[in-house]
Structure 1
Amino acid sequence: MKMRNIGEVISALRKQKGITQEELGNTTGLSRVIIAKIENNQRAVSLDEAVKLAKVFIIDVDTLYGFIEEEKYKTEKNTFVMAFKAKGMDSINLKEVRRIELLVDALFAQEEIRGE
Structure 2
Amino acid sequence: MKFKYVGEAIGHLRKMQGLTQEELGKKVNLGRVVIAKIENNQRAISLEEAKNICYVLGISMDTLFGYVEDESNEEDESFVMAFSSKGADEEELPEIRRIELLVEALFTQEQIYRGE
- CA distance in 2 between partners of 1:16 and 1:109 (Å): 28
RMSD after superposition: 2.2
Q: Could you state the TM-score of these two structures normalised by the residue count of structure 1?
A: 0.80
- Mean Cα deviation higher: 77-86 or 46-55: 77-86
| CA positional deviation for 1:37 | 1.1
Paired residues of 1:14 and 1:24 also in contact (CA < 8 A)? yes
- CA distance in 1 between partners of 2:103 and 2:75 (Å): 16
- CA distance in 2 between partners of 1:6 and 1:23 (Å): 19
Q: Which amino acid aligns with 2:78?
A: T
Q: Which amino acid aligns with 2:15?
A: K
Q: Which residue of 1 aligns with 2:65?
A: 65
List runs of 5+ in structure 2 lacking aligned partners.
none
Q: Give the aligned length.
A: 114
Identity %: 55
- CA distance in 2 between partners of 1:20 and 1:28 (Å): 13
Q: Could you state the TM-score of these two structures normalised by the residue count of structure 2?
A: 0.80
| CA positional deviation for 1:85 | 3.6
Q: Which residue of 1 aligns with 2:54?
A: 54
1:36 is paired with a residue whose SS is: helix
1:74 is paired with a residue whose SS is: coil
List runs of 5+ in structure 1 lacking aligned partners.
none
1:74 equivalent in alignment to 2:73: yes
- CA distance in 1 between partners of 2:16 and 2:72 (Å): 26
Q: Which residue of 1 aligns with 2:95?
A: 96
